[in-house]
Amino acid sequence: MLKQKLKKLLMSNKNMDFKKWEIYYRKILEDFSFSAENDEKSAVILNQILENKKILSLKKIEKLIKNNEIIVFGGGPSLKKSYEKHIDFIKNKIKITADGATTLLIENDIYPDIVVTDLDGRIQDQLKANKKGSIVVIHAHGDNIKNIKKIVPNFTGHLIGTTQTNPKKYFNLHNFGGFTDGDRAVFLADHFKAKKIFLIGFDFDGKIGRYSFTKNFKIKNRKLEWCKFFIEKIMEKNKNIEFL
């Protein structure tokens, strides 16, 4: 028990202010008719599974991001073309992929430094990236309980768990802010004080890219509206974010 309390004390100062986030979280629940109870259930399950996994110290992810130039890859239709256009620029930057965008990098024999996922992209690519050294930030929400149970035990590398609920209830979960994989990746880079954040593959024109790995375009577009909203909110306070 003492060990757990000490662990939680060390991690607790690395979350965003939940009271500020909760305002948006409640609006998201209402907009999509999501269940807060199912979000909590998912968080409980992920928190428990992570007890037996390689959990990365937040000091290490902070060291990786802080004062460095970061590229966040979204899964929009412009991803492949933008990647090819900026390939030389990308090479020496810290790379964070949002779920399905991981596959684009894997197809080009590149392993991202960090993968942010709720486990609905191409899982074999995310497992491979983790095995090769990519940190995987796994998100728990009410709709991915089945995937958490089935997939998370198969990861062999370093992991970080996140929740959209109050993280103080969980020893192994954090809340850095954000809703979709894309904006959560941007929140992560912003939270740990990246020097500069470049965005590739973020499209808000209603078109869905193949790296999104979704068939429900209607829901996806509504989620992208929230993604756009959150990225714009971050850009209001952080002027060191730009689209490539």
**Segment among 110-114, 122-126, 189-193, 202-206 with least mean pLDDT:** 202-206
Secondary structure (H, E, C), the chain? CHHHHHHHHHHHHHCCCHHHHHHHHHHHHHHHCCCHHHHHHHHHHHHHHHCCCEECCHHHHHHHHECCEEEEECCCCCHHHHHHHCHHHHCCCEEEEECCHHHHHHHCCCCCCEEEECCCCCHHHHHHHHHCCCEEEEEECCCCHHHHHHHHHHCCCEEEEEECCCHHHCCCEECCCCCCHHHHHHHHHHHCCECEEEEECCCCCCCCCHHHCCCCHHHHHHHHHHHHHHHHHHHHHCCCEEEC
pTM: 0.94
Percent of the chain at pLDDT exceeding 90? 89
- Indicate if the pLDDT at residue 71 is higher than 50: yes
CATH number at 223 reads 3.90.1480
Q: 191: pLDDT confidence band, cut at 50, 70 and 90?
A: very high
Position of tokens 């929740």?
Answer: 163
Domain that holds residue 64: 2-243
Q: What is the mean pLDDT of the chain?
A: 93
Percent of the chain at pLDDT exceeding 70? 94
Higher pLDDT, 201 or 13: 201
Q: In one letter, which amino acid is 78?
A: S
Tally the domains of the chain. Answer: 1
Per-residue pLDDT at 14: 61
User: What's the pLDDT tens digit per position in 113-149?
Assistant: 999 999 999 999 999 999 999 999 999 999 999 999 9
* Cα separations in angstroms, 184 against 162, 196, 234: 10, 16, 11
User: What's the pLDDT tens digit per position in 9-39?
Assistant: 444 446 888 999 999 999 999 999 999 999 9
List residues bridging with 241 in a β-sheet.
197
- Residues 172-179, mean pLDDT to the nearest whole number: 97
Per-residue pLDDT at 2: 42
User: What's the pLDDT tens digit per position in 207-218?
Assistant: 888 999 987 889
